[in-house]
Chain A
Amino acid sequence: MAVNKIWVLAESGESGPLPLTLELLTHARGLASTVEAVSWGADVASAAAVLGEYGASVVYDVGDLAGALPGPPVAAAIASLVKGGNAPDAILIPATYDGRDVAGRLSAALDRPVLTNVTGLNVDEDLRTEHQVFGGSHTVTARFTGEGPGIFVIRAKSFAAEPGTGSAAQVVAAPAPDTGATGAARILNRHVEERSGPKLDEASVVVSGGRGLGAAENYALVEELASLLHGAAGASRAIVDAGWVPYSHQVGQTGKTVKPTVYLACGISGATQHLVGMKGSKNIVAVNKDQDAPIFSVADLGIVGDVHKVLPALIEALKARG
């Protein structure tokens, strides 16, 4: 089965299309002759230039959602295009909060399965996905066996984003049909949390803390260190589950994938669940009391020691450098 046309769910953030959107467009360019985007919001037209540059010839504009959560209307708009005879071979969806909502809705609406946590996508007769399992020790290759379009939810940092030479995408209105009860949720307020440094999945330095910190208040050491290194603060699942830090900080299988220049794991044992989210980092430094902690098996520099001693000393040393 040849792959002729791919759609990319083009999610945007505060400053235009998400990096992950551009990663997906870049990769789709190499797989199919026609790449088109589906987007939403008050001003899709202004994103058309960037989406076109990265490979989209057309952007289907679902329009302003008037406070609705994106999942139901965006999925309904895509389902309506597909049922109208305009089906692509594959729909690539970013693994984000809203992307996952769209994927779930679309899958049920079209009665098509979804392949999620995709970290690689290639054409070999048909589309083949790659998934990291067991903490990244194994790679599973999978494929759809039924009728398309295939729905793929793809993790961040699976592909590099590189601009192409395309001109601005043509904007085609694709309003959502009435979503009835399913689309009834409304956003009342948006709260933006202060963030002094870079985003976790875009930072070149990530400092993460785990259970070895001993207590929630010691996470402040991780935050201070991250700030001194102009990086972002991450966390293991254990301390997110314990309620020490919000889910948005979680690195790993059920959290974010990060690939910074350097990853500092502080008091993190390195469960497979965590390793899969950070072992693509260029350099890894680990501090842990337990010399047998699995994190040391992936660390370029491992310090067998107490985070309560090493972190304050490291913070002092960095401050002294000014």
Chain B
Amino acid sequence: MNVVVCVKQIPDPAAPSSLDPTTHNLVRTGKLILDDSDSYGVEMALQLAGQVEGSEVTLVSMAPGGEVSGLRTALAMGAAKAILVSDDALAGSDALGTAKVLAAAIRRAQPDLVLAATESTDGYTGTLPVQVAELLGMPSVTFAKSVAVEGSKVVVERQTEAGYDEVECPLPAVVTVTAGVVEPRYPSFKGIMAAKSKPVDTLTISDLGIDPSEVGATGARQGIVQVAEAEARSAGEKVVDEGDGAQRIVAFLEQIKVI
């Protein structure tokens, strides 16, 4: 079974973020890391691949400047190889442009199953995996709480407003997993060493036969008109609990007539 995991390499979410004042693109300087949200997909892929003899996990990513540091983290967890699409023409791409690039790269890996996070931590548009599925002509099951491969189909518990649905879907398919559904493994020292020599196939958009006008800022067909500071909410009273914290909350709830 060929399992592909879409992974995004993002600026450290703990670092302050900003928009470029001219292009309004998210500033991506400094080292990129594996999006935490993707570690669940990687772990899920490794677990599922481990259950089917002869399976392999391939990572697919798009990042500027040939960035591989996040990919190395996922390779160290146990993925076999990676496809990275890196091209200056991709700067300013939106979710649909990115989906076109990833779909073309994923097709090369001839996947039985494509896993992704429900959304990235930095851009969080949350539409990319389904756009990829539509472009690949595959079914998709989003917001999976659990995933099991049974022969030529996948059975998924899908989060709903009311609880969850048990969904059956023939392979190949795209499945997005919510965070917290598996515990991502820490790369072992051996894994980290092995990851350094695992193959990363770096491609440009012309390798994938994609027209530059389809991607990047031009392909995005959207623009930022302005960025303004939002009205800040001001802090109220802050008190150190001297054993009266609960009573203060009760008094506050009474004052706003909640109790």
In the complex, what distance in Å separates the CA atom of A85 from the CA atom of B99?
27
B170 touches A254 (CB 8 A): no
Mask: chain A, 182-207; 1 = CB below 8 Å from B; 0 = not = 11111111111100000100001100
A84 is an interface residue with CB less than 8 A from chain B: no
A199 touches B180 (CB 8 A): no
B256 touches A96 (CB 8 A): no
A46 is an interface residue with CB less than 8 A from chain B: no
A247 touches B127 (CB 8 A): no
In the complex, what distance in Å separates the CA atom of A239 from the CA atom of B114?
26
Mask: chain B, 159-201; 1 = CB below 8 Å from A; 0 = not = 1111111111110010000111101000000000000000000
B245 touches A153 (CB 8 A): no
In the complex, what distance in Å separates the CA atom of A311 from the CA atom of B250?
11
Contacts of B222 in A (CB 8 A): 113, 115, 142-146
A34 is an interface residue with CB less than 8 A from chain B: no
B221 touches A145 (CB 8 A): yes
B252 touches A301 (CB 8 A): yes
**Whole-angstrom distance from the CB of B223 to the nearest CB of chain A?**
5
Select one of B127, B134, B180 contacting A182, CB under 8 A: B134
B217-232 residues at the A interface, CB under 8 angstroms: 220-230, 232
A296 is an interface residue with CB less than 8 A from chain B: yes
B contacts with A: majority SS: mixed
B123-158 residues at the A interface, CB under 8 angstroms: 124-131, 133-135, 137-143, 145, 155, 157-158
In the complex, what distance in Å separates the CA atom of A13 from the CA atom of B160?
11
A283 is an interface residue with CB less than 8 A from chain B: yes
A279 is an interface residue with CB less than 8 A from chain B: yes
A217 is an interface residue with CB less than 8 A from chain B: no
**Whole-angstrom distance from the CB of A42 to the nearest CB of chain B?**
16
Mask: chain B, 48-67; 1 = CB below 8 Å from A; 0 = not = 00000000000000000000
Given A116-B127, A181-B139, A237-B179, A141-B224 contact (CB < 8 Å):
yes
In the complex, what distance in Å separates the CA atom of A133 from the CA atom of B122?
10
7 A–B contacts, CB within 8 A, in A order: A13-B162, A75-B134, A105-B131, A114-B125, A141-B228, A185-B140, A254-B124
A248 touches B159 (CB 8 A): yes
A309 touches B245 (CB 8 A): yes
The interface size bin for chain B is 35 or more
Contacts of B249 in A (CB 8 A): 264, 285, 287, 301, 303, 310, 314
Which 4 A-B pairs rank lowest in CB-CB distance, beginning with the nearest? A305-B241, A104-B130, A146-B221, A313-B246
The interface size bin for chain A is 35 or more
Q: In chain B, what residue has the closest Cβ to A124?
A: B225
Contacts of A133 in B (CB 8 A): 19, 227
In the complex, what distance in Å separates the CA atom of A111 from the CA atom of B159?
28
A171 is an interface residue with CB less than 8 A from chain B: no
Given A229-B258, A302-B238, A241-B247 contact (CB < 8 Å):
no
Given A13-B161, A300-B236, A103-B169 contact (CB < 8 Å):
no
**Whole-angstrom distance from the CB of A269 to the nearest CB of chain B?**
12
Contacts of B181 in A (CB 8 A): 243
Select one of B94, B142, B169 contacting A101, CB under 8 A: B142
In the complex, what distance in Å separates the CA atom of A241 from the CA atom of B145?
12
**Whole-angstrom distance from the CB of A245 to the nearest CB of chain B?**
8
A132 is an interface residue with CB less than 8 A from chain B: yes
Contacts of B121 in A (CB 8 A): 254, 273
- Chain B contact residues, CB within 8 Å of chain A: 13, 17-19, 24, 36-37, 94-97, 99, 118-119, 121, 124-131, 133-135, 137-143, 145, 155, 157-170, 173, 178-181, 183, 220-230, 232-233, 235-241, 245-250, 252-253, 256, 258-259
Interface centre among B145, B157, B256, by most A CB within 10 Å? B256
A185 touches B235 (CB 8 A): no
Contacts of B250 in A (CB 8 A): 314, 317-318, 321
Contacts of B133 in A (CB 8 A): 104-105, 182
B238 touches A296 (CB 8 A): yes
**Whole-angstrom distance from the CB of B54 to the nearest CB of chain A?**
24
A240 is an interface residue with CB less than 8 A from chain B: yes
Select one of A72, A136, A240, A311 contacting B139, CB under 8 A: A72
Given A104-B128, A298-B235, A314-B179 contact (CB < 8 Å):
no
Select one of A142, A188, A246, A321 contacting B223, CB under 8 A: A142
B139 touches A184 (CB 8 A): yes
Interface centre among A147, A183, A301, by most B CB within 10 Å? A301
**Whole-angstrom distance from the CB of A307 to the nearest CB of chain B?**
10
**Whole-angstrom distance from the CB of B230 to the nearest CB of chain A?**
5
In the complex, what distance in Å separates the CA atom of A133 from the CA atom of B129?
22
Contacts of B170 in A (CB 8 A): 181, 184
A104 touches B227 (CB 8 A): no
A301 touches B230 (CB 8 A): no
Contacts of A71 in B (CB 8 A): 130, 140, 142
Given A192-B163, A240-B179, A101-B130 contact (CB < 8 Å):
yes
Given A104-B128, A187-B167, A96-B227 contact (CB < 8 Å):
no
A303 touches B125 (CB 8 A): no
A128 is an interface residue with CB less than 8 A from chain B: yes
